[in-house]
Amino acid sequence: MDWFPGAGPLLLTAKLAAITVIGLLIVGTPLAWWLALGVQQNKSRWHGYVRVVVEALVALPLVLPPTVLGFYLLMAMGANGTLGQWWIGLTGEPLAFSFTGLVIASMIYSLPFVVQPLSNAFQSMGRDWMEAAWSLGANRWQTWLRVVVPHCRAGFLTATVLGFAHTLGEFGVVLMVGGNIPDETRVVSIAVYDLVESMSYGAAHKLSLILLGFSFLILILVYGFNRRWSRL
Amino acid sequence: MDWFPGAGPLLLTAKLAAITVIGLLIVGTPLAWWLALGVQQNKSRWHGYVRVVVEALVALPLVLPPTVLGFYLLMAMGANGTLGQWWIGLTGEPLAFSFTGLVIASMIYSLPFVVQPLSNAFQSMGRDWMEAAWSLGANRWQTWLRVVVPHCRAGFLTATVLGFAHTLGEFGVVLMVGGNIPDETRVVSIAVYDLVESMSYGAAHKLSLILLGFSFLILILVYGFNRRWSRL
Amino acid sequence: KNGAGTSSHKQGNHEGLPLRVAVASNFSPTAHKIVTSFEAGTNAKVSISSASSGKLYAQIKQGAPFDVFLSADAIRPDLLVKEGYAVAASNRVYAHGRLVFWVPGVSGNESTCRQLLYSGQLTRVAMANPDVAPYGYATRQTLTALGLKNPVFTLIFGENIGQTFAFIHAGGVAAGFIAASQWQLSNRSGCAWEVGTQYHAPIAQRAVLLNRASNNALARRFLDFLHSSKTQAKIKASGYLLGDQ
Amino acid sequence: MLVCDISLKRDEFELKMAFEHNGAGVVGLFGPSGCGKTSFLRALAGLEPATKGRIVVAGQTWQDDRAGINLPPWKRRLGLVFQEHRLFPHLNVKNNLLFASKVRRLSKAQYSWPEVLELLDLQTLLERKPGQLSGGESGRVAIGRALLSDPDILLFDEPLSGLDAPRRAAILPYLERLHEQTRIPMLYISHQMSEMLRLTDRMLMLSAGNITADGVTLELAYQLDTNLLSILEVELLHWDQQSCIASVQSGADVLRIWSPQRPTSKHFRVLVDARQVVLATQLLEHSSLLNQLACKVEKVIPGDDGLCLLNLVGQGWKLKSQISLLSLQNFGLIVGDKVYAGVKAVILKGN
Amino acid sequence: MLVCDISLKRDEFELKMAFEHNGAGVVGLFGPSGCGKTSFLRALAGLEPATKGRIVVAGQTWQDDRAGINLPPWKRRLGLVFQEHRLFPHLNVKNNLLFASKVRRLSKAQYSWPEVLELLDLQTLLERKPGQLSGGESGRVAIGRALLSDPDILLFDEPLSGLDAPRRAAILPYLERLHEQTRIPMLYISHQMSEMLRLTDRMLMLSAGNITADGVTLELAYQLDTNLLSILEVELLHWDQQSCIASVQSGADVLRIWSPQRPTSKHFRVLVDARQVVLATQLLEHSSLLNQLACKVEKVIPGDDGLCLLNLVGQGWKLKSQISLLSLQNFGLIVGDKVYAGVKAVILKGN
Ligand SMILES: Nc1ncnc2c1ncn2[C@@H]1O[C@H](COP(=O)(O)OP(=O)(O)OP(=O)(O)O)[C@@H](O)[C@H]1O
Ligand SMILES: Nc1ncnc2c1ncn2[C@@H]1O[C@H](COP(=O)(O)OP(=O)(O)OP(=O)(O)O)[C@@H](O)[C@H]1O
Ligand SMILES: [Mg+2]
Ligand SMILES: [Mg+2]
């Protein structure tokens, strides 16, 4: 915060986005898998319905305005909320206005951007290559690493990019659940927002440009490497 | 606004979301197509670079906080902005604070959610089925309708759902560009936001519930039909 | 380069067109009440657009179709006048905000409530962002005056005073500085300390007539109505101090 | 009518094919794996944008670089059976079959739905999705889809390779008849010489993207199969329906050959397998050999595996015979000796 | 060693297969398109979760419903060549080939990389992606991938169907040798009877999901091919290296048959094609027919196409001969007549 008003928030944002995306990939991948391929084996009608409901639920956080979603999340995570009380019982710390709370909120809000592309990728891959890998002795884990992941590379890439970018840009939820605490929950999106609100347009432009340039660089690198790799 | 505070905004939101998604599909589909399959024919290195840059640009609006993006869009579309002045010259109407302006802003913000899933779907489809369709006499348009669209159904569905839901929930950009004018640019997300801000929590809960229930219904229907169709 | 004036295609008050009032979020519940009685008296239609004062300011400069601007501060109306977007003569304070320190979970009188600030019992206190919101700015002055410039508790910043209240309401924070108007609207549980005006500079909220409505009689009537003693009484009852001191 | 003179360059592969074909007869493409057969069909179909040259089919110019003509694939009226079938996975079998008739807006008269269904035994599969078909079933659907597209030319890429012998035996005559009835040109890829002999009249032998041989299938096959086949040009004298035996003139001799149908033309060719030619130094009486032709040993080609090949010259014809070295030694045969060649009456292919 | 007794139900199809096989010899699966060959291989490989029953391979129980055993596919050590090849599109040919050795952590000694590369002629393809291969090339890679996976059993689903004759001719002996060296069981699907005869010792004939016949390939083929093949069980008396002729005892007669290598066992079978058996009412002298065997006409089966089939009984052997009706009439042959059967010396398959 000393040499430049955006440094603290930028680092915090990068951390939040990275952790959120990693968390989302960890949570979203099995969910997407189940949505795409899990039900085929178990053909009962009932499973089909459950799947449709889950699919709809995943997209649902999107339709609420971020601030409003944040409000409800805050109610859940607050001292009187179920989640909040459970968390306090567990860790002794409150969940609301903590970095962990921020990560959870971001994850809920960005979940569909990760689950949907992955689910599509898994679905369009089908079982053929997995069967081939199994028949060659690759167990689930090896098949996953050596066949599914490279095969669904585009899906993972899209999931990561959308999840990352959306977490960078999101601030409604983050503001509500995080409370704009410097170095703890003040991410760069809130910082830019504050600058705009307080009419510090010059600093706002500067920070926006840095954010854009930085993101553009990352995206170029990611997409460039992807092209490289897919050409190999 | 008479019988229920949310009726006007709800209708407006549905209209905005529908038009935005349709517009996004119209704009995003060729873009996604070009990203996925356009470059293969023209193998020059240069095209590859352009593609990477465009890919990165599409995701870029995401990383700015919606309000900040809205601020810049407002500056562009406003009375003093280039786009705004050009628009006034063209139509005599201002672009900012109009429904059209809202649609444009929403489209820019939700573009990646439509382009990315489509691009992935096109890419994983490849050219094989198109070649088969061509060899059977289907021209580009027929191939598109009879092969590409059904084949990339999951991609289109995801694009539509993410685009629609995100437009429903987005309010930062919309508030900034639209100006929260009742019956013109006050969409439901802003209405809920207002209610929360002005401490009308009861009404906010009610409107949120309606929004959620309504969206859930739509999503269930969409996913349900999709399952039906894919089983046929 | 008066954007608002030149580009407006709906200049003046034509029949059937509603009067458009831009209201800072924190005043919007009170504004709704005022508008309702104004409409009843004049048979005119008034539409309220609320957002943060900062947003409204930016929008007005970009030609937003607002006739009257009720800001949460004095800075933005003054700027609008200076930059030529608003009618100078109309720029008047319509209310002064009042701060309340509120601890909903604890019962007690004002002084016990105030003592809680020093007790160390509170780990977090919510307030509006001082860089953005006038109430936040006043809160910071208050904290300084109370010798709490570096308090033991963590300050949780709301984007504006509405969000600050939401923090407390949602159970995220146990205490916070909110607007008296909000406290009036809430169920007033727990204890509260009404921060006196001696702790901070007045939170002057100014209203201006915007250029596009300079010839709009209805807009002028609305401003007159706003400053009328009957309305001012209503504003006071909602938790504000009166306008022109 | 098919005229084509095209070239196609890939990184490590170059295709260069020039030939003409006038409607009559099926053209076979034969060559080792990777020699460019599929690439050629794709180039014809307009699926390889890098293709250069000229293609004219049924009087219509599909591609002509000099005239700046290059029809897109869907304007090239062809029925293509892909090597990997490429059924549309989102459509059931029925809609796969009807795809072309829908997009080309064919009237019912233009295609023979029930006939194709029966031929390919598709009736029970109509409601299935391609993912629920066996390999051979999907191949049959692919053939049906191409046949029902009312094409000006048929391009078949190993269409029968996944099918059992009885099904092959059912489909091949249909393709023969189809060709004879409609006279549309047909390019046929297969690795089975028996299919080539049965179905094609002309064969292009490919190697590394080039035509290495181009000619009558029988003759090429004769050259190919390490010279174990010989061809007799014969003229039909008489065909007896009851015994299914045709008497034919070959040079100065009369042969009797078995033919279940009356040969369609007066002049045709008979293929004789050298392994089935029995040699004798005297006329063998009381044997089931219908034909015994006097001839001279023209050449003896001993192999290193106990067998040898003899080239025989008769009066106006040539024949080969493969016998064991032991028999050769028993006979003491040398070049110029007079022998009798005994041939059982088997007709392989008439033209 | 392979024991299997499984069933698999689908909507319109039910597979029921029970058989045992003890290491020696390749088992062929033969049957019409859609009869369940691929489904059976998939069931063995554990790729059909609905499979019920018991599978034991090389002493290891892969599935046993009663014992609650059901190994996942990757624990079943098999080398499967899929009908559609299924090369991994994201890996180049080299990494496709090495896939199994990587995931199974094979040491170099366990697989014969250079040998397989050369056999299948893959050297030039190693850096290619599967999308850049021709049909036959990808088939070769698929075979290579399965061979290099160090399996306990090989499951081949029409592996050679897209390959040209010379390549088939190169690969088949390798598979034969492979089998003989490693003694791992091998299940082989093909629609080409010639491949079956060449490679398999035992054949299961399938129809609609059931085994309709199970036996020695030669004998089944004999029954199958509208009875045009007959088998002689013979005992080796002598093999002459120079003339490549083996003298063998069949019943009371001695036959001379051509065999470029010394037969590996004393007792073996000789396959004779009825179309190559010449009949004579007298001993034919001065002919290249190495064998002329006295026998009796046991049965005359006239066809409706000018040909007829005769069952002949010799002293301890049986043979069939196909001749034209004309020859039959010329001879005036009836059941019980004494004839001489002339056979050129061709050995098709020894065991
Ligand atoms: N996924 C599936 N769902 C439903 N039915 C299937 C599926 N796969 C195959 N079948 C059916 O099961 C039967 C057996 O198929 P299978 O693939 O085993 O045949 P096959 O003997 O390998 O035939 P081919 O020689 O044509 O490859 C066929 O009737 C086929 O239509
Ligand atoms: N997409 C591609 N990119 C690069 N090279 C290719 C591609 N497709 C095929 N080839 C190469 O072009 C050559 C010709 O391939 P093609 O498919 O025409 O062979 P083919 O004669 O059909 O062989 P097969 O009998 O095995 O199907 C081969 O060397 C092949 O490796
Ligand atoms: Mg090919
Ligand atoms: Mg099969």
| Residue at A120 is within a domain | yes
Contact across the interface for B135 and D45, Cβ inside 8 Å: yes
Strand partners, E202: E27, E216
- The two structure tokens encoding residue C147: 């010798």
Ligand 1 pocket by C-beta < 6 Å: which residues? Answer: D 131-137, 162; E 10, 13, 33-39, 83
Give C32's contacts in chain B (Cβ within 8 Å). Answer: 198
Structure confidence by residue, pLDDT tens digits, C135-178: 999 999 999 999 888 888 888 888 888 888 888 888 888 899 99
The whole-angstrom separation of Cα C233 and Cα C37 is: 13
Q: Can you give the pLDDT at residue C12?
A: 42
CB D123 within 8 A of CB D117: yes
From ligand 1's centre to the CA of D128, what distance in Å? 11
Residue E154, CB-side half-sphere exposure with 13 Å CA sphere: 29
- The two structure tokens encoding residue C10: 């709906």
ipTM: 0.85
Residues spanned by the domain of A125: 7-230
Structure confidence by residue, pLDDT tens digits, A169-179: 877 788 788 87
Give B175's contacts in chain C (Cβ within 8 Å). Answer: 51, 55
- The two structure tokens encoding residue E324: 């034209």
Sheet harboring E291-302: ordered strands across? E277-280, E338-343, E291-302, E307-313, E318-324
Q: What is the CA radius of gyration of chain B?
A: 20
From ligand 3's centre to the CA of B84, what distance in Å? 58
Angle between helices D165-182 and D113-120 (to 10 degrees): 150
Nearest CA of chain A to the CA of C173: how many Å? 7
Nearest CA of chain D to the CA of B220: how many Å? 22
The whole-angstrom separation of Cα C130 and Cα A201 is: 17
User: Residue E131: CB within 6 Å of ligand 2?
Assistant: yes
| Closest by CA position to E222, among listed E234, E205, E238, E247 | E205
In this complex, which chains have at least 3 CB pairs below 8 Å with chain C? A, B
Q: Can you give the pLDDT at residue D82?
A: 92
CB-based contact, B56 to chain A, within 8 Å:
yes
Chosen for mutation from C33, C49, C183 (greatest number of chain B CBs closer than 10 Å) is C49
Global pTM?
A: 0.86
From ligand 2's centre to the CA of E192, what distance in Å? 24
| Closest by CA position to D110, among listed D67, D136, D79 | D79
Query: Which ligand ends up closest to the CA of D161?
Result: 1
CB-based contact, A161 to chain B, within 8 Å:
yes
Q: Can you give the pLDDT at residue A6?
A: 57
Structure confidence by residue, pLDDT tens digits, D242-282: 878 888 898 888 888 887 777 777 887 787 878 778 888 88
Nearest CA of chain A to the CA of E164: how many Å? 25
- Looking at ligand 1, which residue's alpha carbon is closest to its atom 2? D132
Find the residue in A nearest to C53 (Cα): A197
Structure confidence by residue, pLDDT tens digits, E180-231: 777 788 899 988 877 887 788 888 999 899 999 888 887 777 666 555 777 7
pLDDT band at C7 (very low <50, low <70, confident <90, very high): very low
- Looking at ligand 2, which residue's alpha carbon is closest to its atom 14? D36
Structure confidence by residue, pLDDT tens digits, B59-105: 888 888 888 888 888 888 887 888 888 888 888 888 888 888 889 99
Structure confidence by residue, pLDDT tens digits, E115-131: 888 888 889 999 999 98
| Residue at B2 is within a domain | no
Report whether pLDDT(E268) > 80.
no
The whole-angstrom separation of Cα D286 and Cα C122 is: 123
Contact across the interface for D103 and B133, Cβ inside 8 Å: yes
From ligand 2's centre to the CA of B49, what distance in Å? 29
CB-based contact, C150 to chain A, within 8 Å:
no
| Residue at B47 is within a domain | yes
Q: Can you give the pLDDT at residue D226?
A: 56
Contact across the interface for E49 and A151, Cβ inside 8 Å: no
CB B163 within 8 A of CB B155: no
Q: Considering CB atoms only, which of B41, B128, B136 is closest to D103?
A: B136
CB-based contact, C148 to chain B, within 8 Å:
no
User: Residue E127: CB within 6 Å of ligand 2?
Assistant: no
Chosen for mutation from E122, E229, E288 (greatest number of chain D CBs closer than 10 Å) is E288
Q: Can you give the pLDDT at residue A223?
A: 85
| Residue at A1 is within a domain | no
What domain count does chain A have? 1
Chosen for mutation from E48, E82, E85, E90 (greatest number of chain A CBs closer than 10 Å) is E90
Give B136's contacts in chain D (Cβ within 8 Å). Answer: 74, 99-100, 103-104, 145, 149
Q: For residues E11-23, give the mean pLDDT.
A: 87
Query: For the domain that residue B223 is a member of, what is the CATH number?
Result: 1.10.3720.10
In this complex, which chains have at least 3 CB pairs below 8 Å with chain A? B, C, E
What residues in chain A have per-residue pLDDT under 50?
A: 1-3
Angle between helices B153-169 and B201-231 (to 10 degrees): 170
What residues in chain B have per-residue pLDDT under 50?
A: 1-3
Chains C and D touch (3+ CB pairs under 8 A): no
Q: For residues C168-194, give the mean pLDDT.
A: 87
| Residue at B222 is within a domain | yes
What residues in chain D have per-residue pLDDT under 50?
A: 349-351
User: Residue E135: CB within 6 Å of ligand 2?
Assistant: yes
Among A residues 104-143, those touching chain B with beta carbons less than 8 Å apart: 112-113, 116-117, 119-121, 123-125
The whole-angstrom separation of Cα D85 and Cα D78 is: 15
Q: Can you give the pLDDT at residue A232?
A: 52
Q: Where are the alpha helices (DSSP H) in A92-200?
A: 99-125, 128-135, 140-143, 149-151, 153-169, 172-178, 188-197
Contact across the interface for A79 and C54, Cβ inside 8 Å: no
pLDDT band at C10 (very low <50, low <70, confident <90, very high): very low
pLDDT band at E281 (very low <50, low <70, confident <90, very high): confident
Chains D and E touch (3+ CB pairs under 8 A): yes
Q: Can you give the pLDDT at residue B2?
A: 38
| Residue at B207 is within a domain | yes
Strands in chain C per DSSP E: 19-24, 46-51, 68-70, 86-97, 99-103, 124-128, 154-158, 175-179, 191-194, 203-210
Structure confidence by residue, pLDDT tens digits, D338-347: 988 888 755 5
